[in-house]
Structure 1
Amino acid sequence: MKAIQFTGYGDISEKVIISEIQKPILNKDEVLIETRSVSVNPLDIKVIEGKLKAVRKFKLPATLGYDVSGIVVDKDKNVTDFNIGDEVFSKVNKQGTFTEFVVVHKDIISLKPKNVNFEEAASLPLVGLTAIQALKRGKLKEGDKVLVHAGSGGVGSFAIQYAKYKGAYVYTTTSTENVEWVKKLGADVVIDYKSQNYLDIVSNVDLVLDTLGNKFTEDAFKVIKTGGKVISLVGPIDKETASRMKLNFFVKLILAWRRRKITKHIRLKSAYYSLIFMRANAKQLNEIAELVESGIVKTNLDKVFTFNDALQALLYVKKGRTKGKVVINVKA
């Protein structure tokens, strides 16, 4: 079967190929999914460029992809919650969905929302789970004020809708061309970063969802109230997360040095800071499906590419100017 793989770390144009690989074999508690659509995430770009080598080693060439939607075509005898022919979607923990068939553990799969197609379903898992887990980590509640950076991106656009569903007052940032579109997602204040400085507009918020990193992570502490929270997808590893990762003393020491500025901000604001490493979660996938079926959350597709144009899809996402999600049709 065909798969989209990367052969080494570096330039995307040089490292991505279409390969022939063996069809996966079912193991205990797994289902075999015939892939219909997959989505491209910034995470895929980081993997190819070698930015995650310290976190995970890949046996190259390696198949790309974390999101998948498709049809169950086989299952282990222990799987009782899914049947052959079920239309499902998932975010896998072990990379490798950019291929014609994928085996996935039964505990991280959900029936896809009935009111969306495979392309739309594939756009949901990673960004939806990331947004939900980040806002839950920040203990978002009704009446909270929250700043969501990059409101037109995959995580940002889902987070806006989910935060509004939870009763929050939402600020967000986006570019000029996306302002009206992001307003329609429900954000209360949409800030055009090309002509406005969000630091002049946002203050005393309960929570910042940091999707940008670097200076934006530090500046988040300028706009939260005393005792507020900063939940980051890309910032330094916090002390609690480092402990959960069971890192050795010297690695923890290096990480502590790297987050020294953040630590200072935490103390000055009596704030809570956490870096999110999202995990697959079937219960939350079911929640996403329910939100989509009820119309509370709408899918947002930017572009759909064919399987043969996967390289172009990756390069398009690398530009960082997507309006919603980019999807690849594995089987049209």
Structure 2
Amino acid sequence: MKALLITGYGDVKDNLKFSQIDKPKIKENQVLVEVYAASTNPVDYKIIKGELKPIKKLDFPARIGYDVAGVVVEKGANVKDFNVGDEIFSRVSGMSPGTFAEFVAIDSELVCPKPKQLSLSGAASLPLVGVTTIQVFNEAHLKKGDKVLIHAGSGGIGTFAIQYAKSKGAYVYTTTSTKNVDWVKELGADRVIDYKKENYLDIAKEVDVVYDTLGDDYTYDAFKAIKKGGKVITLVGVMDKESAKELGLNWFYRFILSLKRIKINKEIKRKSAHYKFILMEPNKEQICEIKKLADDGFIKPVIDREYPFSEAIEALQYQKTGRAKGKIIIKVKE
């Protein structure tokens, strides 16, 4: 079968190639899925660049891709919930999962039926951003009436997070550029902040939760936006001590992180805040929650571009620009 492989750490263009590899052999608790659509995510190029080496180093060549929608073509002996021919979607596990390929083997405990109202491309756009957002807001104990600040409202995470937070009854602030203001409003955000014309810190005040997807100074500034006792949940900021320990990082890397946390810890104390770094773990229950939200009309996919499988490297290069409005889809099979 044809698959996109990572050949080494570094630039996206220079460290990816298409190869013919053996079709996966499934285990008794797995399904073999013929991939129709996959979607790109920032974590893909971060893995290629080697940014996640402290968590786990890759053995090259390594497969790539986390999100998938497709059709079950084979199932293991212990799989009872799915049959050959079922349309499914999933966020697969591991550091070298491989949904940018013609077939992928997936543990059935991470598979959910495709949302009925969505195309396979639409379904493929949702798992990683959706499960990540659910875990972020679960950590924040999001409830009706909470005020939430979601940065980068036009991106893959942002477009899902706005819709999800509104489905939970939250009041949503989000940031975006001038050209995206109107269509981000259509996603349901209560206050869209044009960061080219406005300072979000002058508008989003005393919020309950900041969903930090930008890192750097935005992580520190999140403490200016939250109320006393508020919550900052980050995907890209400084890793907290508990998360570093859970991920099994070595003592030296944990020591470096402890130095980086000094400023964060001061902000946490000053605001009596809850701060947590989230590295998403795939979860079937949450994938199926996305299906229900989509079936009930609370979540609609936002897709910027679709690329044929032959242009998957170009899709990843476009993902790296950070200019995508919503998600980028790789069409593996028409």
* Bucket of the pairwise TM-score, normalised by the shorter protein: over 0.9
* Residue 168 of structure 1: how far off its partner (Å): 0.5
Alignment match, 1:262: 264
Deviation by residue 1:131-177 (Cα, 9 ceiling, x = unmatched): 11101111110110000001111111111111111111000001111
* Residue 254 of structure 1: how far off its partner (Å): 2.2
Alignment match, 2:48: 48
Alignment match, 1:68: 68
Structure 1 SS opposite 2:9? coil
Alignment match, 1:195: 197
Structure 2 residues without counterparts, runs of 5 or longer: none
Structure 1 SS opposite 2:324? coil
Aligned equivalents of 1:64 and 1:48: distance in 2? Answer: 9
The answer as to whether partners of 2:55 and 2:249 remain within 8 angstroms in 1 is: no
Structure 1 SS opposite 2:70? strand
Structure 2 SS opposite 1:178? helix
The answer as to whether partners of 2:175 and 2:200 remain within 8 angstroms in 1 is: yes
Alignment match, 1:317: 319
Alignment match, 2:130: 128
Aligned equivalents of 1:223 and 1:251: distance in 2? Answer: 30
Structure 1 SS opposite 2:208? strand
Alignment match, 1:306: 308
Alignment match, 2:37: 37
Q: Which segment is superposed worse, 154-163 or 235-244?
A: 235-244
Provide the aligned length of Structure 1 versus Structure 2: 332
2:222 to 220, 223, 234: 220
Aligned equivalents of 1:245 and 1:49: distance in 2? Answer: 19
* Residue 195 of structure 1: how far off its partner (Å): 1.4
Q: Summarize the alignment of residues 89-168 of structure 1 with structure 2, pairs less than 5 Å apart.
A: 89-94=89-94, 95-168=97-170
Structure 2 SS opposite 1:130? helix
Q: What letter matches 1:126 in structure 2?
A: L
Aligned equivalents of 2:9 and 2:251: distance in 1? Answer: 29
Alignment match, 1:169: 171
RMSD between aligned alpha carbons? 1.0
Q: What letter matches 1:255 in structure 2?
A: L
* TM-score normalized with structure 1 length: 0.98
Aligned equivalents of 1:243 and 1:313: distance in 2? Answer: 34
* Residue 247 of structure 1: how far off its partner (Å): 4.3
* Residue 248 of structure 1: how far off its partner (Å): 5.0
Aligned equivalents of 1:197 and 1:125: distance in 2? Answer: 32
The answer as to whether partners of 1:131 and 1:156 remain within 8 angstroms in 2 is: no
Alignment match, 2:181: 179
Q: What letter matches 2:119 in structure 1?
A: N
Aligned equivalents of 2:30 and 2:325: distance in 1? Answer: 34
Structure 2 SS opposite 1:126? helix
Structure 1 pair 68/136, CA: closer, same or farther in 2 (3 Å)?
same
2:281 to 270, 279, 282: 279
Deviation by residue 1:164-223 (Cα, 9 ceiling, x = unmatched): 111110000011111111100000000111111111111100000000001000000001
Aligned equivalents of 1:70 and 1:20: distance in 2? Answer: 20
* Residue 17 of structure 1: how far off its partner (Å): 1.1
Deviation by residue 1:99-129 (Cα, 9 ceiling, x = unmatched): 0010000110000101111111110100000
Structure 1 SS opposite 2:106? strand
1:240 to 239, 242, 245: 242
Moved over 6 A (4+): none
Alignment match, 2:208: 206
Q: What letter matches 2:152 in structure 1?
A: A
The answer as to whether partners of 1:231 and 1:276 remain within 8 angstroms in 2 is: yes
Aligned equivalents of 1:71 and 1:230: distance in 2? Answer: 38
* TM-score normalized with structure 2 length: 0.97
Q: What letter matches 2:35 in structure 1?
A: T
The answer as to whether partners of 2:54 and 2:253 remain within 8 angstroms in 1 is: no
Aligned equivalents of 2:244 and 2:15: distance in 1? Answer: 31
* Residue 28 of structure 1: how far off its partner (Å): 2.4
* Residue 240 of structure 1: how far off its partner (Å): 2.0
